A and B are shown apart, each in its own frame.
Chain A
Amino acid sequence: MRLAAPVKPSPAKTEQIILFRVSGQLFAVSSASVQEVRSADSMSGAAIEINAPGLRKVRHVVRRGDRSLFIVNGAMHFGLHAVEGALLFVLRKTRTALLIDGIEKMATMTRLQALPLSFCHEERQWYRGLTALDQSVVPVVHPEGFLSPEELALLDAALLEADNSAAADLEETESAQ
């Protein structure tokens, strides 16, 4: 009698994540979703103030060619105690630059558990799921979850208004000169 050949366990699918803090709270994001990490100071010179009604978490926008990156205050997005963010994550394939306190460390995620169905409000858009790491549970954020299509439309409208008013100001100054 021959024994069946042992099945080789397939290597677990892993993902590199960045652990970061917002208002002291730990979160994770896939490192593949982060295009750039910048200090908040380095962006402040290029940032334009923006004011979309009812959207307090976005106060600034950065122009990059024909693209606009909206700076989302992570603490305000998650409803945490607002603190001055020190770093910005420019999130790949989004129009979001996320303002955070700082990076904790890089880690490897071996398992992403879906957010339990009991969580049934906005957090379902915020998180891809939860992961257990070093006997702790960390929510893994969804890069597209920081700005909904409705919020982006509001921001685009506010941006257009800001542009129009800047153009009108410029025209007024030129005609006065």
Chain B
Amino acid sequence: MTVSAELELRSFVLLRLGERRFAVSANQIAELVPPSRIFRFPHRTPKLEGVILRRGRIVPVCDVSEMLLGKRLTSRRFYLIAMRNYATQREWIAIPVTGECELINTDMMAAAESDAPHVAGWLSHDGDVIEVLNLDTLTPGPEQALAEAAAAQRAEAQP
């Protein structure tokens, strides 16, 4: 038996944001859809652009480009519809991406403690080392709101 056969291969979807590629575990991905009309309404959650209608469901659009690239990407070719886990529920979210996505099977290196919270691990593909994203920490949710509130309280408490 070869070493590679011993490793557990997993499926990942590679997505493109500008010049960079990122990966998401394939079991979190529902579909890749062309851009549709975004419905915007007032809210206070950062990184949320609005919602799209998909198969009768209302799906929030989470722009992760600023967090991952440091700048917002205005051009987009598709929405990657992914499943986001909350404490007791799972819901679809739409992530704008700028290019085609690719399904690959590979093994993942676990994230180190020093990695950012949104990094679930690393994988090597086509000579690139690619971040595997943890959508549950990358996209907004009640736990982030609580963390932000706690951070704001700590900042206020500091002299």
Contact = CB atoms under 8 A, between A and B. Distances in A.
B44 A118 contact: no
B43 interface: yes
Contacts of A130: 51, 58
Interface in B30-49: 39, 41-45, 48
A120 B93 CA distance: 14
A116 B45 CA distance: 12
**Most B C-beta atoms less than 10 A away, residue of A80, A135, A136, A137:** A137
A118 B91 contact: yes
B41 A25 contact: yes
A79 B42 contact: yes
B89 A121 contact: no
A118 B60 contact: yes
Contact of B53 (A79, A119, A137, A139): A137
Q: Please classify how large the interface on chain A is, using the bins under 10, 10 to 19, 20 to 34, 35 or more.
A: 20 to 34
Contacts of A25: 41-42
**Most A C-beta atoms less than 10 A away, residue of B43, B53, B57, B60:** B43
Contacts of B42: 25, 78-80, 123, 126, 139
B27 interface: no
B39 A137 contact: yes
Interface string A11-38: 0000000000000011100000000000
Interface residues of B, number: 26
A135 B57 CA distance: 12
A80 to B, nearest CB: 6
A111 to B, nearest CB: 9
Contacts of B59: 116
Contact of B51 (A116, A120, A126): A116
B48 A118 contact: yes
A113 interface: yes
B58 A118 contact: no
**Most B C-beta atoms less than 10 A away, residue of A117, A119, A121, A137:** A117
Contacts of A136: 39
Interface of B: 39, 41-45, 48, 51, 53, 56-60, 62, 84, 86, 89, 91, 93, 139-142, 144-145
Interface of A: 25-27, 78-80, 113, 116-123, 126, 130, 132, 135-139
